[in-house]
């Protein structure tokens, strides 16, 4: 297997997903098919040689060839995310390496088993690659996305997720708003807890594969709640994105 190398991607498109989140489409000279859930490392180099490296999950499915989508949340005072949001335009070069990671991935061999995806904030990104790939291969396994967001305007990929839920009766989209729900909202309005997980998993037959991604604290709390509701450890895969904002 060849070593992964840094390569210079070119920014092909930038889409504003929510007020604080943008998707960057990167054209890659050396695109390698990825598994949904994998990430790329991104490296910025200053003129004096100082470098900053961060990981970003791939949002696009492997069917989208020669390029990858990275969806990046603006973090206040964030070194890398604020540079990407404020300093990058279409046509700019960006240094990346990947695809990386063989653990937090949804494999085609899982396509017949129930799937539970749990995200906090930008943690939805690798799960979106799984949902997009799942749609592309026409999988009909019972699937649910439980997505924790703070506010009404914070639902990344909202339209696409709603469309996927309409098109595929075996995919359910469940949102929970932790701060400011939309007007007239009747769904969940609290942090993900044991009771919520029990309700979400109840309609699924058999033990689902479960992927949890987002801020470190959310991931750890959800993972231990999943064990509490009886899901075996081996069925739970987690990916920590780092600090929980304020």
Ligand X SMILES: Cc1cc2nc3c(=O)[nH]c(=O)nc-3n(C[C@H](O)[C@H](O)[C@H](O)COP(=O)(O)OP(=O)(O)OC[C@H]3O[C@@H](n4cnc5c(N)ncnc54)[C@H](O)[C@@H]3O)c2cc1C
The reply to whether 245 sits near ligand X by the rule CB under 6 A is yes
The partner in contact with residue 3, picked from ligand X, other proteins, none with C-beta cut-offs of 5 to 8 angstroms by kind, is other proteins
Contact residues for 77 (Cβ-Cβ < 8 A; gap 6+): none
What are the tokens at 110? Answer: 């899982």
Among 18, 60, 71, 238, binds other proteins (CB under 8 A): 238
The reply to whether 77 sits near ligand X by the rule CB under 6 A is yes
Among 72, 105, 118, 236, binds ligand X (CB under 6 A): 72
The reply to whether 120 sits near other proteins by the rule CB under 8 A is no
Contact residues for 92 (Cβ-Cβ < 8 A; gap 6+): 10, 11
Q: Least distance in Å: CB of 189 to ligand X?
A: 22
Q: Which stretch binds other proteins (CB under 8 A): 9-17, 115-123, 175-183, 238-246?
A: 238-246
CB-wise, 77 or 86, nearer to ligand X?
77
Question: Where do runs of H (alpha helix) occur along the chain?
Answer: 79-87, 124-136, 158-167, 194-201, 216-228
CB-wise, 101 or 114, nearer to ligand X?
101
Cα 182 off chain centre by: 22
Among 18, 23, 25, 57, binds ligand X (CB under 6 A): 57
The reply to whether 101 sits near other proteins by the rule CB under 8 A is yes
> Taken in order 57, 104, 196, 218, is the CA torsion positive or negative?
negative
> Taken in order 243, 17, 105, 2, is the CA torsion positive or negative?
negative
CB-wise, 156 or 223, nearer to other proteins?
223
Contact 59, 75 (CB under 8 A): no
The reply to whether 73 sits near ligand X by the rule CB under 6 A is yes
The reply to whether 78 sits near ligand X by the rule CB under 6 A is yes
CB atoms within 10 A of CB 201: 19
Q: Least distance in Å: CB of 215 to other proteins?
A: 9
> Taken in order 58, 61, 62, 63, is the CA torsion positive or negative?
negative
The reply to whether 232 sits near other proteins by the rule CB under 8 A is no
Residue linked to tokens 């696409």: 160
Cα 98 off chain centre by: 16
Contacts with other proteins, residue ranges (CB under 8 A): 1-4, 39, 41, 55, 97-98, 100-104, 216-217, 238-244
Contacts with ligand X, residue ranges (CB under 6 A): 39, 54-57, 71-73, 75, 77-82, 122, 125, 215, 239, 241-243, 245
């Amino acid at each position: 297997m060849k070593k992964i190398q840094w390569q210079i991607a070119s920014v092909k498109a930038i889409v504003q997903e929510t007020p604080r989140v943008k998707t960057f489409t990167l054209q890659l000279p050396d695109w390698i098919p990825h598994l949904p859930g994998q990430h790329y490392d991104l490296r910025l180099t200053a003129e004096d040689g100082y470098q900053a490296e961060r990981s970003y999950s791939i949002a696009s499915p492997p069917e989208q060839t020669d390029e990858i989508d990275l969806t990046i949340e603006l973090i206040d005072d964030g070194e890398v995310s604020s540079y990407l949001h404020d300093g990058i335009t279409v046509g700019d070069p960006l240094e990346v390496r990947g695809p990386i990671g063989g653990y937090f991935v949804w494999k085609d061999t899982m396509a017949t088993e129930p799937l539970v995806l749990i995200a906090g904030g930008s943690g939805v990104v690798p799960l979106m690659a799984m949902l997009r790939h799942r749609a592309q291969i026409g999988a009909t396994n019972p699937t649910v996305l439980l997505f924790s967001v703070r506010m009404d305007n914070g639902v990344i990929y909202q339209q696409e997720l709603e469309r996927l839920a309409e098109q595929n009766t075996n995919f359910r989209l469940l949102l929970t708003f932790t701060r400011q729900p939309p007007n007239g909202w009747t769904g969940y309005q609290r942090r993900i807890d044991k009771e919520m997980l029990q309700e979400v998993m109840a309609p699924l037959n058999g033990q689902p594969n479960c992927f949890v991604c987002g801020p470190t604290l959310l991931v750890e709390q959800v993972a231990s709640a999943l064990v509490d509701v009886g899901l075996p450890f081996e069925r739970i895969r987690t990916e920590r994105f780092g600090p929980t904002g304020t």
